Chain A
Amino acid sequence: MFRLNNLIRTGTNLTRFKHTLVVVEHDNQKLSQVTLNTITAATKIPKNETVTCAVAGTGCGKVAEEVSRLAGVNKVLVVDDANLTGFLPEAVAPVIVDLQKKNNFTHIAFGSSALGKNVMPRVAALLDAQPVSDIIGIPDENTFVRTIYAGNAIQTVRVKDPVKIFTVRGTAFEAVKPNSAATPAEVAPAGVNATKSEKATFVNQQIAKSDRPSLTAAKVVVSGGRGLQNGENFKILYDLADTMNGAVGASRAAVDAGYVPNDLQIGQTGKIVAPELYIAVGVSGAIQHLAGMKDSKTIAAINKDPDAPIFQVADLGLVGDLFKEVPEMTKLLKK
């Protein structure tokens, strides 16, 4: 009886340990910033014992090596396969499913980026699990915190599925640092192959080139709305952002009016940012826009309308003409 009890206890103890797979996002050359935040989230899962990172791509050895040097990473599994060109979910999702079947992780984490959002639910459905999108907290190993209704409510959900699958909001977790110890984590082939997707083909990407920091990682974000009146006027925002090594974003109104490309959109359906300083210029502050920036440490707003809703969240509000105030700020900051 004693031995049986012991066995049972050992059994329960074993099942108590959690093993997390982080699906690494990269372009075969560079690791994506959101993965650094996702690894931190994985290390914060209560009772989590190991963090394994999956690097799937084509010629992604350099990225795998970089991941192996990050703090908290225990193992890196590599799937290097030409069939993964373009990271199509039809090819990537079955690879993650095979990794799961082979290794039985308790948690699978993705970064909440366009790529993570595209692939993660496909993986979940193939494993018959209901996933959790865009988490901002992990109170216990089965429970996750996320926002709903454009950030106007915070929901805590308990997942009943045996495998917990989720995307991580990058701005809610610190970026993981490189490992201070000299020994990197083990890098090994995953022993899983990719199959060419016959049903989907990658054609091309049109990526906007910029020397400025990326929107989701920048410490300062200057964003413009309809008040900018046209695309050329955005130059004054770029000038201001450059004085602080900041990034430039936009409201949906500015994107829809064609002032700037869609990848600059901040909000419920665009990017979510939480910089040290967010300067909203000519942005009224609709619910959908606030969803993307209201966790910024300091919010400054410049708007000629004193009743604009943005002033209700702004720590520093300046009622005035943006065409006068923004160049003035740039001039003062350059001094």
Chain B
Amino acid sequence: MSLRILVGCKRAIDYAVKIQVKSDFSGVVTEGVKHALNPFDEIAMEEAVRLKEKKLASEVIAVSCGPTQAQDVLRTALALGADKAIHVEIPAKEYETLQPIHVSKILAKLAEKEKADMVIVGKQAIDDDCNQTGQMTAAVLSWPQATFASKLDVKPAEKEVTCEREIDGGLETIKVKLPAVVTADLRLNTPRYATLPNIMKAKKKPLAKLTPKDLGVDVTPRQEVVRVEEPPKRQGGGKVASAQELVERKQMSF
């Protein structure tokens, strides 16, 4: 048995960009800002591709929900080694209120449709910082979940995955039965770079388009964003001349 793996890929503002809050407090400025594949999803994709290289997986399917630009990250995923991609098209306006509950229902439908044995997503997206989609997808599918994974031992024959997880005090090991949902933590692997020949090849790989309606998923917002504002600014920059002075400042008396 060889696994079919579905990987969730979110297009998010690049991690190095200093974001700006819109002057009407409705959100952050996204137009003309550099976007990239969410770093945790990059790790998820890398893990799926490595499983394929080890002949444990037969097919890796990249999925992204969003406006047309979501195809950019799907092309990246294909260049990294995904076999095919599915773009679940959501108009820009609706995408603003697309929430993990919607994405998890879409991923669950696709996992069933594509007969996936494993769904791998990043542990969180660096834009909304929710850390929910993987867990919610597992719940919708009634699959077990292996979250914050730092090490995976996949045994398709036994239909089992042993997972080392990052928890507050250290590490934890669990075993989950396949089919399962895995969410990737930072230390699961180091993602590769897409090479130019692979970027060229990726242009020829299949990219299917669907809508939430095709999958029977209602994307009515469950939450309304009331306001987005800047956090209070810290007044830093105070310098001291020596360790002596640092220790003498009253804040240091504990």
Q: A residues near B, CB below 8 A?
A: 86, 88-90, 93, 113-115, 117-126, 128-134, 143, 146-161, 197-208, 216, 219-220, 244-246, 252, 255-256, 261-263, 268-269, 271, 276-277, 287-288, 294, 297-300, 302, 311-320, 325-326, 328-329, 332-333
Report whether B239 and A121 are in contact in the complex, using a CB–CB cutoff of 8 Å.
no
Checking B13, B150, B229, B245 against A262 with a beta-carbon cut-off of 8 angstroms, the contacting residue is B150
Report whether A113 and B168 are in contact in the complex, using a CB–CB cutoff of 8 Å.
yes
Report whether B237 and A312 are in contact in the complex, using a CB–CB cutoff of 8 Å.
yes
Checking A118, A204, A276, A298 against B173 with a beta-carbon cut-off of 8 angstroms, the contacting residue is A204
Q: How large is the interface on B (under 10, 10 to 19, 20 to 34, 35 or more residues)?
A: 35 or more
Main secondary structure of the interface of B (DSSP, over half): mixed
Interface flag for B166 (CB, 8 Å): yes
> Please, which residue of chain A has its CB at the minimum distance from the CB of B244?
A332
Min distance, Cβ A305 to any Cβ of chain B, angstroms: 13
Report whether A287 and B15 are in contact in the complex, using a CB–CB cutoff of 8 Å.
yes
Report whether B236 and A160 are in contact in the complex, using a CB–CB cutoff of 8 Å.
no
State A121–B166 Cα separation when bound (angstroms): 17
Report whether A149 and B135 are in contact in the complex, using a CB–CB cutoff of 8 Å.
no
Q: A121-B136, A316-B251 are in contact. Are A156 and B226 (CB under 8 A)?
A: yes
Contact with A along B217-250 (1 / 0, CB 8 A): 0000111111111110011111111111111010
Report whether B140 and A155 are in contact in the complex, using a CB–CB cutoff of 8 Å.
no
Chain B stretch 152-207: residues in CB contact (< 8 A) with chain A = 162, 165-177, 180, 185-187
Q: Which of B131, B147, B229 has the most CB of A within 10 A?
A: B131
State A281–B167 Cα separation when bound (angstroms): 25
Report whether B101 and A114 are in contact in the complex, using a CB–CB cutoff of 8 Å.
no
Chain B residues, Cβ within 8 Å of A114: 148, 165-168
Min distance, Cβ A132 to any Cβ of chain B, angstroms: 7
State A121–B224 Cα separation when bound (angstroms): 18
Interface flag for B76 (CB, 8 Å): no
State A271–B148 Cα separation when bound (angstroms): 13
State A90–B138 Cα separation when bound (angstroms): 9
Report whether B243 and A268 are in contact in the complex, using a CB–CB cutoff of 8 Å.
no
Report whether A160 and B223 are in contact in the complex, using a CB–CB cutoff of 8 Å.
yes
Checking A128, A199, A269, A320 against B143 with a beta-carbon cut-off of 8 angstroms, the contacting residue is A199
Chain A residues, Cβ within 8 Å of B104: 125
State A246–B254 Cα separation when bound (angstroms): 10
State A153–B142 Cα separation when bound (angstroms): 34
A-B contact pairs, 9 of them (CB 8 A): A121-B139, A156-B226, A198-B177, A201-B176, A256-B186, A288-B15, A294-B231, A300-B252, A332-B243
Chain B stretch 25-60: residues in CB contact (< 8 A) with chain A = 28, 40
Contact with A along B77-117 (1 / 0, CB 8 A): 00000000000000000000001110010000000000000
Report whether A261 and B126 are in contact in the complex, using a CB–CB cutoff of 8 Å.
no
State A320–B245 Cα separation when bound (angstroms): 13
Interface flag for B124 (CB, 8 Å): yes
Chain B residues, Cβ within 8 Å of A143: 226
Report whether A89 and B129 are in contact in the complex, using a CB–CB cutoff of 8 Å.
no
Query: What 9 additional pairs, Cβ within 8 angstroms, besides A122-B136, A152-B230, A205-B167?
Result: A148-B129, A153-B28, A200-B145, A207-B170, A297-B251, A302-B246, A311-B237, A314-B238, A316-B239
Q: Which of A89, A151, A197, A269 has the most CB of B within 10 A?
A: A269
Interface flag for B72 (CB, 8 Å): no
Min distance, Cβ B105 to any Cβ of chain A, angstroms: 9
Interface flag for B19 (CB, 8 Å): yes
